[in-house]
Structure 1
Amino acid sequence: MALFTFKLPDIGEGISEAEIVGWHVKVGDRVEEDQPIADMMTDKATVEMESPVSGTVMRLAGEPGQQVAIGSMLVEIEMEAVGEEAAPPDNSSMGEVEESTSVPPELVGQQATEGQRPGRADSEAASPAAQHGASTSLGSNGEKVDRATPILASPAVRARARELGIDLAQVKPSGDHIRHADLDAFLLYGTGQGYSPAGRSVRRPDEEVKVIGLRRRIAENMAASKRAIPHFSYVEEIDVTALEETRAQLNAHRGDKPKLTLLPLLIVAICRALPDFPMLNARYDDEAGVVTRHGAVHMGIATQTDGGLMVPVIRDAQDRNIWQLSAEITRLADAARSGKAKTAELSGSTLTLTSLGPLGGIATTPVINRPEVAIIGPNRIIERPVFRGKEVVAAKLMNLSISCDHRVVDGWDAASFVQAVKKLLETPVLLFAD
């Protein structure tokens, strides 16, 4: 037998360590070559590590949430011998093979014991509702009720109990059989399985959730952003009635093009307004004391995923039309949510757009995606009556929020920029004019 040490390879650009997000194996498991063994996180991308050899897992580097340095041990695997000698893997796996007839106890990690879940037959057998003979249960006043005979109740009472989710084995009858009054008493005072008396919500047990992986990166980045950046926010109301009519007309004649949402139109307006406000499309290196004003707009799109918030990036958004923007938004969002987004697609944004869609609320004060200096957030569209001259008409209104780094962006600049975007959105023909 030979003990193979699989060292963590360089899986990112210039990183020195990666975080263990989760293990696919445990000590004592048999693994095959190319079988997934661990999920490791660099900056914002999660990389699935595969075993370079076949054998038995003897040691793991640590628990989820711990950092592993590049080039240090990730997994130790006891390889099976081929003939007289073990076949070492390719050198590119950054592993080392050493002969070993046995593994010292200190090298073998502790294996987590998985709790056994009761089978369906066991759970049904343990359920009072499944027992029609003798049983013991709690009555409506909390005392034990011994059932030496089958439960007696009329079909109407049984039907009502089913509708309410009440287990009749838990109801104490006031006579020789269970009546509607007994159900009423149980609803008021009882503690039935799966049913809470009126006016009470179901209490959930306390739960400890370890902050690791993407959620920890989000927490660190948001905390650093709020610590380092003096935020200020500005909100303006925009009449998007004409814009929504234009969007509806474009969708009605889109053919095989992707369906338009508001975001592509908003991105076009932002890109058209930015040349007059270069201080907003910028990144601030506060350690070097340098602000880089970017000529191209690399638009970050804040995207909610099962693991947390990710920001895929539309490169050169200023060069794309509304249909190309719509297709790219969909592609990047799908890649982020499925975990297939590449590292390059999750970095390098110069300005971020964050939208909660139909949950957009009245106004938001988004947190800047450091080291950028601004973030823009459209809010929910609401139809309200407004004055047009002396007439009252229905209009579709939307608040547009922007948060800025006050070290770099002045309030006048932010307000002027939003007013320029407002003009474009309220006169949508300008979005398509040369």
Structure 2
Amino acid sequence: MGEYVIKLPDVGEGVAEAELVEWNVKIGDLVREDTVLAAVMTDKATVEIPSPVDGEILWLGGEIGEVIAIGSPLVRLKIEGEGHAPEPAKPAKSETAAPQPEKKFEPAKAEVEKPKAKPAAVAEPPRVMAPPLSGVAPRGEGEKPLASPAIRLRAREAGVDLRQVSGTGPAGRITHEDLEAFFARGSQRPGAAALAPDNSIKEIKVVGLRRKIAEKMAIAKSHIPHITYVEEIDVTALEELRATLNAKKRAEQAKLTILPFLMRAMVKAIADQPNLNALYDDEANIINQYGGVHIGIAAQTPNGLVVPVVKHAEARTLWDSAAEVNLLADAAKTGSATREQLTGSTITITSLGSMGGVVTTPVINYPEVAIIGVNKIMVRPVWDGTNFIPRKMMNLSSSFDHRVIDGWDAAVFIQRIKTLLETPALIFVEG
């Protein structure tokens, strides 16, 4: 018998470490080649680490939430046959080396260590590996099912105990198809029990993307004295224009939401007040004011909040802005957004869509100095001087860094956006 060491492979260009967010195996488990052992996270992307060989888990190299360096031992396996000395880790690429195009992550071949010599003994009969389980029966108490982070999230949101779901993948791994089949059959839960107090406490470790969000929000609120300004916008004319443009759009054009109009209005308002399009380096006490308007679009995804960025909004048309927003939203929801798409914003829009509420108090995307919050559109009666008439109204709830932006400047900025949205023809007037 030999020992096989799986080291954390290179999971991305320039990435030196990754956070361990999930173990799919435990010590003593028998695994087959391609069984997913763990999931790690870096730069808001989750990567699964499969086993390159059959074997038995001897050792796991970290706890959930621990940050592990690339090339560090991750798993030790007992395998049939003799082990071999591990290959030396590849040196880190020089910063001056020519950049290489990004490619889809493929785990490097794991490396093996030679076991220590031990006295001769009666040969141990070879261990017979368990065949891949197909249609595995629901698991017992304490037994952890094999499933990817995405499947675990779906199950958690649906209130499904994955131990009750049969897995048809390798080693009984639960697939999306297995979960769909379970939903189709119905969970067959017992009837509701009589009302009784629930004194349970569930301890949930903050790891992965949720930890990154928590850290960034804590920094933003502890460093930035927020001022929030709320203004009511009459978007009746804008909604009529949007409906007309969507009805006449070409097949290849993206459907217009309110966001592209807001983005164009922000670009024009920033031209008058460029100090709103800036990052504040509070350690160096320097404000970096940008010429290019790079608008972050805060997006809720199955894995948490991310902020894909529409670069150079000042150089995009209404339709181009809409297409880019759709592209980034799809990439964020599927977890395929690149580091380039998720970084570099200079001002941010946050919107909860139809759940946008009447008023919000958005947290600034540190180290930016402003964030524009979109609340839901509602039909409300508005007095026109003679009668109450129905109008489509929407609030903008926007926050500003009061160290950099005075209340007056914040109000001027939002009032400029209000004028452009209430008279949308002005959005298309140059100068």
Alignment partner of 1:430 out of 407, 421, 426? 426
Counterpart position of 2:113: 98
Structure 1 CA distance for aligned equivalents of residues 278 and 165 of structure 2: 58
1:210-257 per-position Cα deviation (integer Å, ceiling 9, x unaligned): 211111111111111111111111111111110000011011112312
Q: Deviations over 1:154-207 (max 9, x none)?
A: xxxxxxxxxxxxxxxxxxxxxxxxxxxxxxxxxxxxxx94165xxx79969543
CA distance in 1 between partners of 2:375 and 2:196 (Å): 32
The answer to whether residue 189 in structure 2 is matched with residue 194 in structure 1 is: no
Secondary structure, aligned partner of 1:28: coil
Name the aligned partner's letter for residue 358 of structure 2.
I
Which residue of structure 2 lines up, in the alignment, with residue 240 of structure 1? Answer: 235
Residues 1:114 and 2:112 aligned together:
no
2:133 aligns with none
Query: In structure 2, what is the equivalent of residue 67 of structure 1?
Result: 67
CA positional deviation for 1:86: 5.0
Cα distance change on mapping 1:328 and 1:79 into 2, 3 Å: farther
Deviation string 1:17-69 (CA, Å, 9 cap, x unpaired) is: 32111123333344455554322122422233344555443221122212223
CA spacing shift, 1:320–1:77, aligned 2, 3 Å: farther
Q: Secondary structure at the match of 1:279?
A: helix
Structure 1 SS opposite 2:426 = helix
Question: Within 5 A, what are the aligned runs for 1:115-134?
Answer: none
Distance, in Å, in 1 between the alignment partners of 2:144 and 2:79 is: 29
Identify the match of residue 320 of structure 2 among 287, 303, 324. Answer: 324
> Does the C-alpha gap of structure 1 residues 201 and 244 become closer, same or farther in structure 2, counting only changes over 3 Å?
farther
Distance (whole Å) between structure 2 residues aligned to residue 119 and residue 65 of structure 1:
26
Instruction: Choose the corresponding residue for 1:227, options 222, 229, 235.
Output: 222
Secondary structure, counterpart of 2:348 in structure 1: strand
- The answer on 1:386 being equivalent to 2:359 is no
Equivalent position of 1:78 in the other structure = 78
Does residue 272 of structure 2 align to residue 276 of structure 1? yes
The aligned amino acid for 1:47 is V
Which residue in 2 is equivalent to 1:348?
A: 344
Unmatched tracts of structure 2, length 5 or more? 91-107, 119-140, 146-162, 167-189
User: Structure 1's 215 and 115: CA in aligned 2 closer, same or farther, altered over 3 A?
Assistant: closer
Shift of 1:85: 6.5
Amino acid at match of 1:63: E
1:377 positional shift:
0.4
Aligned to 1:41: 41
Give the equivalent residue in structure 1 for 2:244: 249
The equivalent residue for 1:57 is: 57
Between stretches 9-18 and 240-249, larger displacement belongs to 9-18
Give matches, 1:196-211, under 5 Å. 205-211=200-206
Q: How many residue pairs were aligned?
A: 350
The answer to whether the Cα contact below 8 Å between 1:27 and 1:57 also exists between their aligned partners in 2 is yes
Equivalent AA in structure 2 for residue 306 of structure 1:
P
In 2 relative to 1, CA 295–80 (structure 1 residues): closer, same or farther, beyond 3 Å?
A: farther
Instruction: State the SS of the aligned residue for 1:332.
Output: helix
Matched residues in 2 for 1:321 and 1:238: separation? 23
How far apart, CA to CA, are the structure 2 residues paired with 1:418 and 1:261? 20
Q: Quick check: 1:18–1:40 contact (8 Å CA) kept in 2?
A: yes
Partner of 2:359: 363
CA distance in 1, matches of 2:164, 2:385: 71
Q: Which moved more, 1:235-244 or 1:253-262?
A: 253-262
Cα 1:289/1:6, change in 2 over 3 Å: farther
CA contact (8 A) 2:3 2:83 kept: no
* Aligned positions of 1:260-339 closer than 5 A: 260-339=256-335
Look up the SS of the partner of 2:274 in the other structure: coil
C-alpha change, 1:326 and 1:201, in structure 2 (3 Å) is: farther
Aligned-pair RMSD on alpha carbons? 3.1
Match of 1:22 in 2: 22
Does the CA contact (< 8 Å) of 1:52 and 1:89 recur in 2?
A: no
**3-state secondary structure, aligned to 1:227:** helix
Q: Gapped runs of 5+ residues in structure 1?
A: 104-111, 121-191
Q: How far does residue 80 in structure 1 lie from its aligned partner after superposition?
A: 4.0
Contact 1:350–1:372, Cα closer than 8 Å, also in 2: yes
CA contact (8 A) 1:53 1:89 kept: no
Q: 1:227 is matched by which residue type in structure 2?
A: S
Partner of residue 140, structure 1: none
Which is greater in Rg?
1
Instruction: Spell out, residue by residue over 1:258-291, the C-alpha distance to the aligned partner (whole angstroms, 9 max, x if none).
Output: 2221111111111121122111111112222222
Distance 1:67 1:90, change over 3 A: closer
* In structure 2, C-alpha distance between the alignment counterparts of 1:202 and 1:381, rounded to whole Å: 40
Q: Shift in Å at residue 307 of structure 1?
A: 2.1
TM-score normalised over the length of structure 2: 0.73
Query: Secondary structure in 1 aligned to 2:77?
Result: strand
CA contact (8 A) 2:86 2:113 kept: no
Q: Distance in 2 between matches of 1:386 and 1:118?
A: 55
Aligned-partner Cα distance in 2 for 1:364–1:248: 27
TM-score (norm 1): 0.72
Change (3 A) 1:396 1:119: closer
State the distance in 2 between where 1:426 and 1:433 align.
14
